[in-house]
Amino acid sequence: MKARLHYALLLYLAEMVGHVPSYRMRHWVYRRLCRIQLGPHTNIQRGLRLFCLGGIKIGDYCCINRDVTLDGRRGLEIGDNVHLSVGSRILTLGHDPRSPDFAPAGGPVVIEDYVWIGAWAIVLPGVRLGRGSVVAAGSVVTRDVAPLTIVAGNPARVIGNRPDTMSYQIEYALLFQ
């Protein structure tokens, strides 16, 4: 019981610190107390919502925009130079709709380098987003996305390809973000 209370308090702290304007304070809490592996040049803006402490690894030069949800319950790995737009949701655990007892179902999510996830998009459990892929705003990704592929819709379907010329570094920082 004591361990569950401690865990619940840490989740609450993580959610509350997500609204603090101090970038440095938020990142300190995410690294030290929430046990998120976080690249030194990654920017997490206000309003981050976490499911599970630990289980989340975020590479370098990433931008995690406002009001993003990250679920580390089954493992979440985000590569370098990844952009998660406002309101995007990355889930690793849900329930089996065919289960008579509402059994949990899910799997780790892997987001490779240079992926761009549009505003309010949802990535469901067990999905791998290949290097340089793009998920359009509002899309729901239910299966793996090949490298350099652009997907859109619900469920997300291929609508195009991206050139393999990415060499940028995402450096995004404001005083009060």
Across the chain, mean pLDDT equals 91
Percent of the chain predicted with pLDDT > 90: 69
If one counts every other C-beta atom within 10 angstroms of the C-beta of residue 33, the result is: 13
- The CATH number of the domain covering residues in 2-161: 2.160.10.10
Active centre residues (catalytic): 95
Q: Compute the distance between CA of residue 155 and CA of residue 176 in angstroms, rounded to an integer.
A: 36
At 158, phi and psi to the nearest 5?
Answer: -65, 130
Closest by alpha carbon to 130, among 101, 161, 154?
A: 161
Task: Identify the pLDDT of residue 91.
Answer: 97
The CA distances from residue 89 to 83, 84, 162, in Å, are: 12, 9, 22
pTM of the model: 0.92
Q: What is the pLDDT of residue 8?
A: 82
Residue 53 has pLDDT above 80, yes or no: no
Q: Which two tokens stand for residue 96?
A: 């089996």
Domain segments of the chain as ranges = 2-161
